[in-house]
Homo-oligomer: A and B are copies of this chain.
Amino acid sequence: MPRRGPNNGGDKRDRILRAAVKIFSRNGFFNSKVSEIARASGVADGTIYLYFKNKDDLLISLFEEKMGEVVADVRRRLAAGGSAIDKLRIFIENHMDLLERESGLVEVIMVELRQSTKFLKDYTPVKFFEYLEVISDILEEGKREGAIRPDLNVSVARRAIFGALDELCLTYVLSGKRKYHPSVTAAEVCRLLLEGLCVPGADVGKG
C-alpha cells in the first residue's frame, strides 16, 4: 500500500528538492545527473519531470523555495527586537550558523547561484534580493537610531557585508570545515564591520 497510487503522500516534490540539494552540493549542478537525483529521492527519472519543467527549473525552484525559507526564518529571529547593532550581530551569526544547520543548501547557493544568475536567461533571484533587503533594513534602522553613519551608502554596504560573509562561509567549506569555526568568524566579522580595520581615532585621511 505505501508504494503505489497517485501522489503517494504528497511529499514527492519535497523529497526531490531535498535530494537535489544533496546531489548538487556534492557534485555541482553540471556534474549532477537527473538520474542520480531520482535515485537519491527514491523516485523514477521521469517522475522528476512531473514536478519540474527540466533540470534548470529544478535548480531555480530549489533556490527560490529554500532561500525563501531562509529569509522567513532570519526575519523571524530579527523580529524579537533589540537595537540595529544587535540585529546586525544576529544576522551575521545566523548566516554563519546556517553552515551547520543547512550546509548543503548554503553550498549550493554559494557555488551555483552566480553561475545561474549570470547564465540562465530570464531568471531573477527574487529571494536572494530579499535576503539583501534584510541587511538594508537593518542598516537603515541603524541610521535612524543614530548608531550608523548617516552618509553610509546602504546599497554598497549591504553587498559588501553579504560578500564578506559569503566568502568566509566558502573558506570554511573548502577547508573541509576545519578552519575558522563559524561562531568565531562571526564575532570577528562583526567587529570588523562595526569598528573597521583601524585603531580607534587613527587618522585615515578621509576623501
Q: How far is the CB of A170 from chain B (nearest CB, A)?
A: 7
Closest B residue by C-beta to A179: B155
Q: How far is the CB of A73 from chain B (nearest CB, A)?
A: 22
Docked-complex contact A198 and B148, CB < 8 angstroms: yes
- Of B147, B148, B150, B165, which one neighbours A163 at CB under 8 angstroms? B165
Q: How far is the CB of A157 from chain B (nearest CB, A)?
A: 6
Interface size class of A (residues with CB under 8 A): 35 or more
Number of copies: 2
- Of B150, B167, B197, which one neighbours A148 at CB under 8 angstroms? B197
Distance in angstroms between the alpha carbons of A85 and B196 in the assembled complex: 12
Docked-complex contact A115 and B111, CB < 8 angstroms: yes
List 18 other contacts, CB 8 Å, given A157-B188, A166-B167.
A85-B205, A118-B173, A148-B198, A149-B195, A149-B197, A150-B199, A153-B188, A156-B168, A159-B164, A159-B168, A160-B167, A162-B167, A163-B163, A164-B167, A191-B206, A194-B196, A194-B198, A194-B204
